[in-house]
Structure 1
Amino acid sequence: MGSASRAISCLCCPCRCLFSCLCSILVSLAVTLGLLALALYLILKPRMIAATVDSASLSQFALSASSTLAYDLNVTMTVRNPNTRVGLYYDDVQALASYEGQRFGYAPLDAFYQGTGAATKLAPGFRGTQLLQGDVAAAQFRQQQSAGRFDVDVDLNAKLRVKFWAFKAHGPNAKITCTLSVPVPVPAAASASPFQPTDCKVWF
Protein backbone atom coordinates (compact mmCIF):
# COMPACT_ATOMS: atom_id res chain seq x y z
CA MET A 1 0.00 0.00 0.00
CA GLY A 2 2.85 2.34 0.87
CA SER A 3 4.61 1.63 -2.42
CA ALA A 4 1.46 2.44 -4.40
CA SER A 5 1.05 5.76 -2.57
CA ARG A 6 4.63 6.76 -3.26
CA ALA A 7 4.21 5.89 -6.93
CA ILE A 8 1.08 8.00 -7.25
CA SER A 9 2.79 10.89 -5.45
CA CYS A 10 5.75 10.74 -7.82
CA LEU A 11 3.43 10.82 -10.81
CA CYS A 12 1.40 13.78 -9.50
CA CYS A 13 4.23 16.01 -8.34
CA PRO A 14 5.42 17.05 -11.83
CA CYS A 15 1.86 18.09 -12.75
CA ARG A 16 1.50 20.08 -9.55
CA CYS A 17 4.83 21.80 -10.16
CA LEU A 18 3.84 22.64 -13.74
CA PHE A 19 0.46 24.01 -12.64
CA SER A 20 2.12 26.06 -9.89
CA CYS A 21 4.66 27.47 -12.36
CA LEU A 22 1.92 28.39 -14.84
CA CYS A 23 -0.07 30.13 -12.10
CA SER A 24 2.99 32.07 -10.98
CA ILE A 25 3.75 33.12 -14.58
CA LEU A 26 0.15 34.23 -15.19
CA VAL A 27 0.00 36.18 -11.94
CA SER A 28 3.34 37.85 -12.67
CA LEU A 29 2.19 38.71 -16.19
CA ALA A 30 -1.10 40.17 -14.93
CA VAL A 31 0.71 42.27 -12.31
CA THR A 32 3.26 43.48 -14.89
CA LEU A 33 0.53 44.44 -17.37
CA GLY A 34 -1.41 46.18 -14.62
CA LEU A 35 1.63 48.20 -13.55
CA LEU A 36 2.42 49.04 -17.18
CA ALA A 37 -1.15 50.23 -17.77
CA LEU A 38 -1.02 52.33 -14.59
CA ALA A 39 2.32 53.84 -15.61
CA LEU A 40 0.97 54.71 -19.09
CA TYR A 41 -2.13 56.26 -17.54
CA LEU A 42 -0.05 58.41 -15.20
CA ILE A 43 2.27 59.45 -18.04
CA LEU A 44 -0.42 60.17 -20.64
CA LYS A 45 -3.12 61.42 -18.26
CA PRO A 46 -5.88 60.82 -20.87
CA ARG A 47 -8.89 63.12 -20.85
CA MET A 48 -12.28 62.82 -22.53
CA ILE A 49 -12.93 64.49 -25.89
CA ALA A 50 -15.15 67.57 -25.64
CA ALA A 51 -17.67 68.62 -28.28
CA THR A 52 -20.09 71.55 -28.63
CA VAL A 53 -22.63 72.43 -31.31
CA ASP A 54 -22.07 76.14 -31.89
CA SER A 55 -24.98 76.72 -34.28
CA ALA A 56 -27.81 74.81 -35.94
CA SER A 57 -30.38 76.11 -38.40
CA LEU A 58 -33.22 74.70 -40.48
CA SER A 59 -33.86 76.16 -43.91
CA GLN A 60 -36.56 73.52 -44.41
CA PHE A 61 -38.25 71.05 -42.11
CA ALA A 62 -41.67 70.11 -43.43
CA LEU A 63 -43.79 66.97 -43.06
CA SER A 64 -46.19 66.07 -45.84
CA ALA A 65 -49.56 64.34 -45.51
CA SER A 66 -47.82 61.08 -46.45
CA SER A 67 -45.34 61.54 -43.53
CA THR A 68 -42.43 62.40 -45.81
CA LEU A 69 -39.99 64.76 -44.12
CA ALA A 70 -38.28 67.34 -46.34
CA TYR A 71 -35.26 68.74 -44.51
CA ASP A 72 -32.35 71.15 -44.89
CA LEU A 73 -30.30 71.27 -41.68
CA ASN A 74 -26.92 72.95 -41.23
CA VAL A 75 -24.80 72.45 -38.12
CA THR A 76 -21.46 73.84 -37.01
CA MET A 77 -19.68 72.14 -34.15
CA THR A 78 -16.35 72.22 -32.36
CA VAL A 79 -14.52 69.06 -31.31
CA ARG A 80 -11.67 69.52 -28.83
CA ASN A 81 -8.77 67.32 -27.80
CA PRO A 82 -8.05 68.39 -24.20
CA ASN A 83 -5.10 66.05 -23.84
CA THR A 84 -1.67 67.60 -23.41
CA ARG A 85 0.37 64.54 -24.39
CA VAL A 86 -1.82 62.61 -26.83
CA GLY A 87 -2.71 63.47 -30.43
CA LEU A 88 -5.83 62.00 -32.03
CA TYR A 89 -6.57 60.82 -35.56
CA TYR A 90 -10.25 60.70 -36.53
CA ASP A 91 -10.98 58.18 -39.31
CA ASP A 92 -14.24 57.14 -41.03
CA VAL A 93 -15.99 60.23 -39.70
CA GLN A 94 -19.78 60.18 -40.16
CA ALA A 95 -22.46 62.63 -39.07
CA LEU A 96 -26.02 61.36 -38.57
CA ALA A 97 -29.23 63.31 -37.96
CA SER A 98 -32.37 61.81 -36.45
CA TYR A 99 -35.81 62.94 -35.37
CA GLU A 100 -37.93 61.08 -32.80
CA GLY A 101 -35.49 58.17 -32.93
CA GLN A 102 -35.60 57.88 -36.73
CA ARG A 103 -32.55 58.70 -38.79
CA PHE A 104 -33.25 61.10 -41.63
CA GLY A 105 -29.83 62.46 -42.60
CA TYR A 106 -26.30 61.19 -43.24
CA ALA A 107 -23.17 63.19 -44.05
CA PRO A 108 -19.66 61.69 -44.42
CA LEU A 109 -16.87 64.01 -43.29
CA ASP A 110 -13.17 64.15 -44.05
CA ALA A 111 -10.75 62.42 -41.69
CA PHE A 112 -8.68 64.79 -39.59
CA TYR A 113 -5.92 64.96 -36.99
CA GLN A 114 -5.91 66.87 -33.72
CA GLY A 115 -2.70 67.74 -31.96
CA THR A 116 -2.55 68.19 -28.22
CA GLY A 117 -5.00 70.80 -27.00
CA ALA A 118 -6.32 71.41 -30.53
CA ALA A 119 -9.90 72.20 -31.58
CA THR A 120 -11.48 71.36 -34.95
CA LYS A 121 -14.49 73.03 -36.54
CA LEU A 122 -16.90 70.76 -38.42
CA ALA A 123 -19.90 71.76 -40.52
CA PRO A 124 -22.08 68.80 -41.49
CA GLY A 125 -25.09 69.55 -43.68
CA PHE A 126 -28.17 67.39 -44.19
CA ARG A 127 -30.56 67.83 -47.14
CA GLY A 128 -33.17 65.57 -48.70
CA THR A 129 -36.39 63.72 -47.92
CA GLN A 130 -37.12 60.80 -45.62
CA LEU A 131 -40.28 58.89 -44.74
CA LEU A 132 -41.09 58.98 -41.01
CA GLN A 133 -42.78 55.95 -39.51
CA GLY A 134 -45.67 56.05 -37.04
CA ASP A 135 -48.31 58.52 -35.92
CA VAL A 136 -46.34 59.53 -32.81
CA ALA A 137 -43.60 61.17 -34.87
CA ALA A 138 -46.21 63.13 -36.86
CA ALA A 139 -47.96 64.22 -33.66
CA GLN A 140 -44.66 65.32 -32.09
CA PHE A 141 -43.81 67.21 -35.28
CA ARG A 142 -47.04 69.22 -35.17
CA GLN A 143 -46.64 69.94 -31.44
CA GLN A 144 -43.02 71.10 -31.78
CA GLN A 145 -43.82 73.15 -34.88
CA SER A 146 -46.45 75.03 -32.90
CA ALA A 147 -43.93 75.54 -30.07
CA GLY A 148 -41.43 77.04 -32.52
CA ARG A 149 -38.58 74.53 -31.98
CA PHE A 150 -37.75 71.04 -33.21
CA ASP A 151 -35.87 68.48 -31.12
CA VAL A 152 -33.22 67.01 -33.40
CA ASP A 153 -30.36 64.64 -32.56
CA VAL A 154 -27.04 64.91 -34.37
CA ASP A 155 -24.42 62.19 -33.83
CA LEU A 156 -20.80 62.08 -34.92
CA ASN A 157 -19.10 58.69 -35.22
CA ALA A 158 -15.38 58.15 -35.80
CA LYS A 159 -12.64 55.56 -35.41
CA LEU A 160 -9.79 56.93 -33.32
CA ARG A 161 -6.05 56.43 -33.53
CA VAL A 162 -3.79 57.66 -30.76
CA LYS A 163 -0.40 59.32 -31.23
CA PHE A 164 2.15 59.60 -28.42
CA TRP A 165 5.53 60.98 -29.46
CA ALA A 166 6.39 58.91 -32.56
CA PHE A 167 4.14 56.01 -31.56
CA LYS A 168 0.70 55.42 -33.06
CA ALA A 169 -1.91 52.91 -31.99
CA HIS A 170 -5.53 52.08 -32.73
CA GLY A 171 -7.92 53.62 -30.24
CA PRO A 172 -11.61 53.10 -29.49
CA ASN A 173 -14.56 54.06 -31.66
CA ALA A 174 -15.97 57.40 -30.54
CA LYS A 175 -19.62 58.45 -30.67
CA ILE A 176 -20.53 62.07 -30.02
CA THR A 177 -24.24 62.59 -29.29
CA CYS A 178 -25.80 66.05 -29.48
CA THR A 179 -29.42 66.68 -28.51
CA LEU A 180 -30.48 69.97 -30.11
CA SER A 181 -33.43 72.31 -29.89
CA VAL A 182 -33.50 74.03 -33.29
CA PRO A 183 -35.77 76.97 -34.17
CA VAL A 184 -38.37 76.26 -36.87
CA PRO A 185 -37.43 77.51 -40.35
CA VAL A 186 -37.77 81.18 -41.24
CA PRO A 187 -39.97 83.18 -41.53
CA ALA A 188 -41.87 81.20 -38.90
CA ALA A 189 -38.84 81.42 -36.61
CA ALA A 190 -38.70 85.23 -36.77
CA SER A 191 -40.20 85.47 -33.30
CA ALA A 192 -38.45 82.38 -31.90
CA SER A 193 -35.44 82.61 -29.62
CA PRO A 194 -32.11 81.90 -31.35
CA PHE A 195 -30.27 78.59 -31.12
CA GLN A 196 -28.28 78.14 -27.94
CA PRO A 197 -24.84 76.46 -28.12
CA THR A 198 -25.18 72.93 -26.81
CA ASP A 199 -22.63 70.60 -25.21
CA CYS A 200 -22.55 67.04 -26.49
CA LYS A 201 -21.98 63.70 -24.79
CA VAL A 202 -19.05 61.49 -25.81
CA TRP A 203 -19.16 57.69 -25.70
CA PHE A 204 -16.54 55.02 -26.37
Structure 2
Amino acid sequence: MLHGEISCSIILFTVGFSCLVVFVMFSFVLFCDMQEPEFSVTNAFLAQFTFDTATDQNLHYNLTLDITIRNPNKRVGIEYRDIQATAMCGYQTFALLSLGGGILAPFYQGHENTTVLHNLLVQGKQFEEAKICKCKSETVAGVYSIDLQLALRVKARYGMSIKGRSNKVGILCNLLVPLTTFGTSIDGNGGEYCFNTTKCFNTKNFFLENS
Protein backbone atom coordinates (compact mmCIF):
# COMPACT_ATOMS: atom_id res chain seq x y z
CA MET A 1 0.00 0.00 0.00
CA LEU A 2 2.79 2.39 0.96
CA HIS A 3 4.70 1.49 -2.18
CA GLY A 4 1.64 2.32 -4.30
CA GLU A 5 1.22 5.72 -2.62
CA ILE A 6 4.89 6.55 -3.21
CA SER A 7 4.62 5.53 -6.88
CA CYS A 8 1.49 7.67 -7.28
CA SER A 9 3.22 10.64 -5.67
CA ILE A 10 6.22 10.25 -7.96
CA ILE A 11 3.96 10.12 -11.01
CA LEU A 12 2.05 13.23 -9.91
CA PHE A 13 5.29 15.07 -9.19
CA THR A 14 6.73 14.08 -12.58
CA VAL A 15 3.60 15.18 -14.43
CA GLY A 16 3.43 18.45 -12.51
CA PHE A 17 7.10 19.18 -13.03
CA SER A 18 6.84 18.40 -16.75
CA CYS A 19 3.87 20.76 -17.09
CA LEU A 20 5.80 23.48 -15.29
CA VAL A 21 8.81 23.03 -17.58
CA VAL A 22 6.59 23.19 -20.67
CA PHE A 23 4.85 26.32 -19.36
CA VAL A 24 8.16 28.04 -18.60
CA MET A 25 9.58 27.15 -22.01
CA PHE A 26 6.41 28.34 -23.74
CA SER A 27 6.46 31.63 -21.82
CA PHE A 28 10.16 32.12 -22.55
CA VAL A 29 9.68 31.61 -26.29
CA LEU A 30 6.57 33.81 -26.31
CA PHE A 31 8.02 36.75 -24.42
CA CYS A 32 11.52 36.66 -25.90
CA ASP A 33 10.14 36.55 -29.43
CA MET A 34 7.89 39.59 -28.86
CA GLN A 35 8.36 42.53 -31.23
CA GLU A 36 7.06 46.06 -31.00
CA PRO A 37 4.38 47.16 -33.49
CA GLU A 38 5.47 49.43 -36.33
CA PHE A 39 3.80 52.81 -36.88
CA SER A 40 3.97 54.91 -40.04
CA VAL A 41 2.07 57.80 -41.61
CA THR A 42 1.24 56.65 -45.13
CA ASN A 43 -0.73 59.70 -46.28
CA ALA A 44 -0.97 63.30 -45.11
CA PHE A 45 -3.11 66.00 -46.72
CA LEU A 46 -2.74 69.58 -45.55
CA ALA A 47 -5.66 71.52 -47.02
CA GLN A 48 -5.17 74.65 -44.90
CA PHE A 49 -2.33 76.10 -42.87
CA THR A 50 -2.73 79.86 -42.92
CA PHE A 51 -2.57 82.76 -40.51
CA ASP A 52 -5.20 85.48 -40.13
CA THR A 53 -4.45 88.25 -42.60
CA ALA A 54 -5.92 90.91 -40.30
CA THR A 55 -4.36 90.06 -36.95
CA ASP A 56 -1.67 87.55 -38.04
CA GLN A 57 -2.09 85.96 -34.63
CA ASN A 58 -4.12 82.82 -35.24
CA LEU A 59 -3.37 79.73 -37.28
CA HIS A 60 -6.13 77.98 -39.24
CA TYR A 61 -5.26 74.37 -40.04
CA ASN A 62 -6.85 71.34 -41.71
CA LEU A 63 -4.74 68.18 -41.70
CA THR A 64 -5.89 64.68 -42.67
CA LEU A 65 -3.77 61.63 -41.86
CA ASP A 66 -3.65 57.92 -42.62
CA ILE A 67 -1.74 56.02 -39.93
CA THR A 68 -0.67 52.42 -40.54
CA ILE A 69 0.05 50.07 -37.62
CA ARG A 70 1.68 46.69 -38.26
CA ASN A 71 1.87 43.93 -35.67
CA PRO A 72 4.78 41.65 -36.72
CA ASN A 73 4.32 39.15 -33.88
CA LYS A 74 3.40 35.60 -34.82
CA ARG A 75 1.74 34.68 -31.51
CA VAL A 76 0.83 37.96 -29.81
CA GLY A 77 -2.17 40.20 -30.43
CA ILE A 78 -2.32 43.81 -29.21
CA GLU A 79 -5.12 45.89 -27.71
CA TYR A 80 -5.03 49.66 -28.28
CA ARG A 81 -6.98 52.27 -26.32
CA ASP A 82 -6.91 55.86 -24.98
CA ILE A 83 -5.21 57.18 -28.11
CA GLN A 84 -4.33 60.87 -28.22
CA ALA A 85 -2.68 62.69 -31.12
CA THR A 86 -0.75 65.92 -30.65
CA ALA A 87 0.42 68.00 -33.62
CA MET A 88 3.34 70.41 -33.19
CA CYS A 89 5.01 73.02 -35.37
CA GLY A 90 8.13 74.88 -34.31
CA TYR A 91 8.06 72.99 -30.98
CA GLN A 92 4.65 74.51 -30.23
CA THR A 93 1.51 72.41 -29.92
CA PHE A 94 -1.24 73.60 -32.23
CA ALA A 95 -3.65 70.65 -32.08
CA LEU A 96 -4.67 67.96 -29.61
CA LEU A 97 -6.97 65.20 -30.82
CA SER A 98 -8.43 62.50 -28.59
CA LEU A 99 -9.08 59.45 -30.75
CA GLY A 100 -11.76 57.95 -28.57
CA GLY A 101 -15.35 58.42 -27.57
CA GLY A 102 -16.69 57.52 -30.99
CA ILE A 103 -13.86 58.98 -33.11
CA LEU A 104 -11.77 55.87 -32.68
CA ALA A 105 -12.94 53.26 -30.23
CA PRO A 106 -10.45 50.90 -28.58
CA PHE A 107 -9.55 48.09 -30.95
CA TYR A 108 -7.75 44.76 -31.04
CA GLN A 109 -5.11 43.87 -33.61
CA GLY A 110 -4.40 40.22 -34.29
CA HIS A 111 -0.98 38.68 -34.81
CA GLU A 112 0.82 39.39 -38.09
CA ASN A 113 -1.82 41.97 -38.94
CA THR A 114 -1.82 45.46 -40.45
CA THR A 115 -4.37 48.08 -39.41
CA VAL A 116 -4.88 51.40 -41.20
CA LEU A 117 -6.51 54.33 -39.41
CA HIS A 118 -8.02 56.26 -42.32
CA ASN A 119 -8.76 59.98 -42.59
CA LEU A 120 -7.91 61.14 -39.08
CA LEU A 121 -8.88 64.81 -39.22
CA VAL A 122 -6.99 67.48 -37.29
CA GLN A 123 -8.51 70.91 -37.82
CA GLY A 124 -9.18 74.12 -35.94
CA LYS A 125 -7.71 77.50 -34.99
CA GLN A 126 -4.84 78.01 -32.57
CA PHE A 127 -1.73 79.99 -31.60
CA GLU A 128 -0.83 83.45 -30.42
CA GLU A 129 1.63 85.77 -32.13
CA ALA A 130 4.45 85.03 -29.70
CA LYS A 131 4.21 81.32 -30.50
CA ILE A 132 4.02 81.34 -34.29
CA CYS A 133 7.32 82.95 -35.28
CA LYS A 134 9.27 79.68 -35.16
CA CYS A 135 6.55 77.89 -37.10
CA LYS A 136 6.54 80.59 -39.80
CA SER A 137 10.28 80.32 -40.27
CA GLU A 138 9.97 76.59 -40.96
CA THR A 139 7.16 76.87 -43.51
CA VAL A 140 8.33 79.51 -45.98
CA ALA A 141 9.08 76.86 -48.63
CA GLY A 142 5.50 75.59 -48.67
CA VAL A 143 6.46 72.28 -47.05
CA TYR A 144 5.48 72.19 -43.41
CA SER A 145 7.51 70.48 -40.71
CA ILE A 146 4.95 68.92 -38.37
CA ASP A 147 5.70 66.61 -35.47
CA LEU A 148 2.90 64.17 -34.73
CA GLN A 149 2.98 62.61 -31.27
CA LEU A 150 0.77 59.68 -30.31
CA ALA A 151 0.12 58.74 -26.70
CA LEU A 152 -1.76 55.50 -26.12
CA ARG A 153 -2.18 52.46 -23.93
CA VAL A 154 -1.44 48.97 -25.19
CA LYS A 155 -2.01 45.52 -23.78
CA ALA A 156 -0.58 42.30 -25.20
CA ARG A 157 -2.88 39.31 -25.62
CA TYR A 158 -1.47 35.80 -25.71
CA GLY A 159 -3.91 33.35 -27.22
CA MET A 160 -7.61 33.86 -26.56
CA SER A 161 -7.63 34.71 -22.87
CA ILE A 162 -4.18 35.50 -21.43
CA LYS A 163 -3.52 39.26 -21.29
CA GLY A 164 -0.50 41.27 -20.26
CA ARG A 165 -0.44 44.50 -18.30
CA SER A 166 -1.66 47.79 -19.69
CA ASN A 167 1.28 50.01 -20.63
CA LYS A 168 1.39 53.65 -21.67
CA VAL A 169 3.59 54.28 -24.70
CA GLY A 170 4.52 57.15 -26.98
CA ILE A 171 5.06 57.41 -30.73
CA LEU A 172 6.73 60.28 -32.61
CA CYS A 173 6.37 60.96 -36.34
CA ASN A 174 8.47 63.74 -37.92
CA LEU A 175 6.44 64.78 -40.97
CA LEU A 176 7.19 67.01 -43.94
CA VAL A 177 3.78 67.88 -45.35
CA PRO A 178 3.20 70.07 -48.43
CA LEU A 179 0.15 72.29 -48.66
CA THR A 180 -2.47 70.64 -50.88
CA THR A 181 -4.46 72.85 -53.26
CA PHE A 182 -7.15 71.40 -55.52
CA GLY A 183 -5.74 67.91 -55.10
CA THR A 184 -2.17 68.93 -55.94
CA SER A 185 0.66 69.34 -53.45
CA ILE A 186 2.61 72.51 -54.14
CA ASP A 187 6.15 73.28 -53.04
CA GLY A 188 7.61 76.74 -52.54
CA ASN A 189 8.59 77.09 -56.21
CA GLY A 190 5.18 76.23 -57.62
CA GLY A 191 6.14 72.66 -58.47
CA GLU A 192 4.48 69.48 -57.35
CA TYR A 193 5.62 67.81 -54.15
CA CYS A 194 4.34 64.47 -52.89
CA PHE A 195 4.16 63.39 -49.30
CA ASN A 196 6.46 60.47 -48.57
CA THR A 197 5.45 57.66 -46.25
CA THR A 198 7.10 58.43 -42.92
CA LYS A 199 8.13 55.78 -40.43
CA CYS A 200 7.54 56.70 -36.80
CA PHE A 201 9.58 55.64 -33.81
CA ASN A 202 8.75 54.72 -30.24
CA THR A 203 9.60 57.09 -27.41
CA LYS A 204 8.70 54.51 -24.76
CA ASN A 205 9.22 50.76 -24.85
CA PHE A 206 6.18 48.62 -25.54
CA PHE A 207 5.13 45.92 -23.06
CA LEU A 208 7.90 46.80 -20.58
CA GLU A 209 6.67 49.79 -18.59
CA ASN A 210 3.84 49.48 -16.13
CA SER A 211 1.33 52.20 -15.46
- Shared topology, TM-score over 0.5? yes
Q: Residues of 2 paired with 1:140 and 1:37: CA distance?
A: 53
Evaluate the alpha carbon distance shift between residue 67 and residue 41 of structure 1 in structure 2; reply closer, same or farther with a 3 A threshold.
Answer: farther
How far the C-alpha of 1:111 sits from its partner, in A, is 1.2
Q: Residues of 1 paired with 2:129 and 2:168: CA distance?
A: 29
Q: Give 5+ residue unaligned stretches, structure 1.
A: 1-35
Q: Provide the aligned length of Structure 1 versus Structure 2.
A: 167
Deviations 1:141-167 (A, max 9, x none): 1x4443120000112221111111220
What TM-score does the superposition give when structure 2 sets the normalisation length?
0.71
Q: Residues of 2 paired with 1:99 and 1:48: CA distance?
A: 27
CA RMSD between the two structures:
2.3
Aligned-residue sequence identity (percent) comes to 27
1:40 matches 2:30 = no
How far the C-alpha of 1:196 sits from its partner, in A, is 0.6
Match of 1:178 among 173, 177, 183: 173
What TM-score does the superposition give when structure 1 sets the normalisation length?
0.73
Q: Give 5+ residue unaligned stretches, structure 2.
A: 1-22, 205-211
Output the amino acid matched with 2:80: Y
Evaluate the alpha carbon distance shift between residue 84 and residue 149 of structure 1 in structure 2; reply closer, same or farther with a 3 A threshold.
Answer: same
Evaluate the alpha carbon distance shift between residue 38 and residue 201 of structure 1 in structure 2; reply closer, same or farther with a 3 A threshold.
Answer: farther
Deviations 1:19-67 (A, max 9, x none): xxxxxxxxxxxxxxxxx99973433311121011101111100123442
1:9 is aligned to: none
How far the C-alpha of 1:203 sits from its partner, in A, is 2.7
1:104 is aligned to: 94
Match of 2:143 among 119, 141, 149: 149
1:57 matches 2:53 = no
Structure with the higher helix share, 1 or 2: 1
Evaluate the alpha carbon distance shift between residue 60 and residue 38 of structure 1 in structure 2; reply closer, same or farther with a 3 A threshold.
Answer: farther
CA contact (8 A) 1:102 1:132 kept: no
Evaluate the alpha carbon distance shift between residue 139 and residue 161 of structure 1 in structure 2; reply closer, same or farther with a 3 A threshold.
Answer: closer
Q: Residues of 1 paired with 2:65 and 2:72: CA distance?
A: 22
